[in-house]
Amino acid sequence: MSPAVEDYWRVVNAFAARMEEELGDDLLSIILTGSMGRNQVVPGKSDLLDAAVVLRRGTLEDRERHERSLRVIVDSCQLAASSGLPFGHPCFYWEEGELADQDGLFMLGTVSPRSSRLLAGVDIRPEMSPGADAEAAASCLFFALSQRFMYPLSVFLDVPELPESQQATFFQRLVDMSKGLPLLVCAALGSTAEEALAPGKVRQILPDVDFGVLDEILAIRRGERPLPGMEGLRSLLRRALELGERIQDEILVSGTSPWRDLLASPPEAPA
Amino acid sequence: MAAELYPSEVQIPQRIAERVASLVQEVRESLESVVYYEHPLTGCGLLLVVPDRATQPFPDLLARIYRAAPRVTLHCLRPRELFQLALPGYDAPALSVDDQPHLAYCVKLRSALLHGRDCRAEVPLPARPAVFLREHLRGCQRYFRPHYLKLLFERQYRNVVMETVREARRTMSIALVGDGGWQVDLAEVPERYTARFGGARTSAVWRRLEALEECREAAPEAVEDAAYEACWLLERFLKLLASEALEDPPP
């Protein structure tokens, strides 16, 4: 039987209850992020445990408290993983003292009430802030996405046919890229936005760029359109690569990108 | 400039030289430059420079390049994008090793030109190398912690120990970006790190962590204990390193 959204909540609530019971005062907070935090679970596809666990200040200093906390987290994650729901990774965890030095993009999704929700303990979201240079570093991630994830996919343009399982993997790579791209483009142009708002914001910033291919990929993922065959997948990839090239050009002519501060001699915008 | 000293010292593996030769044959008209570089974190990589205005659609050019290129880290850029080599990348320790720290230094100073024009002088250096360490430390919190949690619940205790030791070495290397870290291979990094920053407490934690590697031969319960201790030591180590390399570095 395919899972329902309620199954996700049952498992996540059991995870939180166990953490609260076993960790006691050392647990400060649990915040849900990802699709559960945004209330956009796609049952059977969304990852189960996008959760940020925050431990009380000093827990990481003390060897005994640290080990006890890790053992409780590991056991609780095992319980969640045994539910059979998609379990990509265990939870994230932080210590209280680290909240004011956060990863620029992750923080946006974690602090926003639209993209996260308090699952247990104290609401620590107002205390989270980006660390030094975090926004400038986040503005470089679009370049990394291109080099490390998009360009290597180009080899599929020459592949005439793939077994169904590999087509699914190929499509998943397109989905990952489509989910992250608006967020990273906004950051690269100095206009950071949380994941839920980034697709709209990127269209405002770059009104002449056609982002339709991303919508098509995500509609297929939601099951609103059938998964295309190999030719259709290649066509989506080609359009995504062309979109990436267009965006690179837009970023280069933008004078407001935070990554410019990280270079001793920033490039001049091309004529 | 040190770059002039290096070409004779950089050894290009035969398999890479051969693949690059066929790559050049395949896309000669669209390849302005190929630079091979050595890198302390990833071993080596290639910078492939394509023209600002290619004669064929960009996706097709990429497909031809990625199909023919050797299986090493590739950076395929247009001349006006070379500045990207000096910027932070996607530093997600445990998911993959990011070569952006040290990259601009390696391309400029620890490299050899394999084809086309020499574009290395056009690669800028980072203005604030400490940004790489800050990002790496945040990456350790966000990515390495869930990674060791996963290894712990899969009971891969030996791997926890090995990977935490490796991660501590990589972090020391990244702390040396801007201090000649590009020329220090991982085996020599602890010594160079201590010489540069000299923290006695950090060194003591590092030695204890490194000593845990001996647990390979120990009984299963002892290996499990060592894995949990390694996670704690890594956290201590990263905190101490951040304080001496970022907050209060020696002049």
At A22-74, the pLDDT tens digits run 999 999 999 999 889 989 898 998 889 899 999 999 999 999 999 999 999 99
What sign has the CA pseudo-torsion B127, B129, B131, B132?
positive
For strands A92-95 and A51-55, give the pairing. parallel
- Output the average pLDDT for chain A: 92
Structure confidence at residue B218 (pLDDT): 83
Nearest CA in chain A to B86: A263
Strand, coil or helix: what is B191?
helix
- Using one digit for the tens of pLDDT, what is the confidence trace for B150-196? 999 999 999 999 999 999 999 999 999 999 999 999 999 999 999 99
Q: How far is CA B65 from CA A39, A189, B75, B180, in A?
A: 41, 28, 11, 32
**Are A77 and B153 an interchain contact pair (Cβ–Cβ within 8 Å)?**
yes
For the cut 90, the answer to whether the pLDDT of residue B115 exceeds it is yes
- CA nearest neighbour of B231 among A69, A111, A115: A69
Confidence band for B251, pLDDT divided at 50, 70 and 90? confident
Residue A147 CA, chain-centre distance (Å), reads: 18
Give the model's pLDDT for residue B104: 97
State yes or no: pLDDT of B24 exceeds 70. yes
Per-residue pLDDT at B128 exceeds 70: yes
Residue A202 has which token pair? 């990127």
In the predicted model, is pLDDT for residue B48 greater than 80?
yes
Interface test with A, best of B30, B153, B160 (most A CBs within 10 A): B153
* Interface contact flag, B152 A70, Cβ < 8 Å: yes
* Three-state SS letters, B11-60: CCCHHHHHHHHHHHHHHHHHCCEEEEEEECCCEEEEEEECCCCCCCCHHH
Q: Which residues of A44-58 are buried (b: 16+ CB within 10 A; e: fewer)?
A: eebbbbbbbbbbbee
What pLDDT sits at residue A254? Answer: 86
Q: Six-digit token pair at A106? A: 């992750």
Record: contact A264-B127, CB cut-off 8 A: yes
For chain B positions 80-119, those within 8 Å of chain A (CB to CB) are 80-81, 83-84, 86-90, 96, 98, 100
Contacts of A61 (CB under 8 A, 6+ apart): B236
pLDDT of residue B1: 38
* Residue B6: pLDDT over 70: no
pLDDT band at B249 (very low <50, low <70, confident <90, very high): confident
Give A72-78 contacts, CB < 8 A, sequence gap 24+: A72/A18, A72/A19, A72/A22, A72/A23, A73/A19, A73/B149, A74/B149, A74/B152, A74/B153, A75/A18, A75/A22, A76/A15, A76/A18, A76/A19, A76/A22, A77/A15, A77/A49, A77/B149, A77/B153, A78/B153
Q: Is the pLDDT of residue B7 over 70?
A: no
Question: A with B: how many residue pairs have Cβ under 8 Å apart?
Answer: 146
pLDDT band at B5 (very low <50, low <70, confident <90, very high): very low
What is the number of other CB atoms lying within 10 angstroms of the CB of residue A112? 18
pLDDT tens for A183-225 read 999 999 999 888 889 999 999 999 999 999 999 999 999 889 9
Cα A16 to Cα B34: distance, rounded to the nearest angstrom: 53
Q: Is the pLDDT of residue B2 over 70?
A: no
Tell me the CA distances in angstroms from B16 to B43, B137, B185, one per residue in order: 12, 33, 20
Q: Please name the residue of chain A whose CA is at the shortest distance from the CA of residue B138.
A: A103
Q: Report angle CA A247, B85, A246 to the nearest 5 degrees.
A: 10
- What element of type H or E holds B77? strand B73-77
Mean pLDDT of chain B: 93
Q: Residue A117 in contact with residue A43, Cβ under 8 Å?
A: no
**Tens-digit pLDDT profile for residues A166-176:** 999 999 999 99
pLDDT at B119: 96
| Position A269 confidence tier, pLDDT thresholds 50, 70, 90 | low
Chain B residues in contact with A134 by the CB 8 A cut-off are: 134-135, 138
State the average pLDDT over residues B24-41.
Answer: 95
Could you tell me the pLDDT band of residue A270, with boundaries at 50, 70 and 90? Answer: low
Predicted confidence (pLDDT) per residue in A39-53, tens digit: 989 899 888 989 999
Q: Is the pLDDT score of B4 beyond 60?
A: no
pLDDT at A266: 73
Do the chains contact at B138 and A91, CB–CB below 8 Å? no
Which of B86, B88, B152 is the closest to A137 by Cβ?
A: B88
| B204 has a chain A CB within 8 A of its CB | no
Alpha-carbon dihedral sign for residues A237, A239, A242, A248: negative
Of the candidates B53, B47, B191, which has an alpha carbon nearest to the alpha carbon of residue B108?
Answer: B47
Residue B3 is predicted with a pLDDT of: 42
B8 confidence band (pLDDT: 50, 70, 90):
low
Give the mean model confidence (pLDDT) for residues A86-113: 88
Residue bearing tokens 């935090």: A37
Q: Is B121 on the interface with A (CB under 8 A)?
A: no
In whole angstroms, give the CA distance from residue B140 to residue B194: 21
- ipTM of model: 0.91
Q: Does A237 sit within 8 Å of B134, measured CB to CB?
A: no
Distance in Å, alpha carbon of B192 to nearest chain A alpha carbon? 26
Contact B149 A91 (CB under 8 A): yes
User: Long-range contacts for A243-250 (Cβ within 8 Å, ≥24 apart)?
Assistant: A243/A181, A243/A209, A243/A210, A243/A211, A243/A213, A243/A214, A244/A146, A244/A150, A244/A181, A245/B58, A245/B59, A246/A209, A247/A142, A247/A181, A247/A185, A247/A206, A247/A209, A248/A146, A248/B81, A250/A189, A250/A206, A250/A209
Residues B207-231 have a mean pLDDT of 92
Quick: pLDDT tens for B50-102.
998 878 899 999 999 999 999 999 999 999 999 999 999 999 888 889 999 99
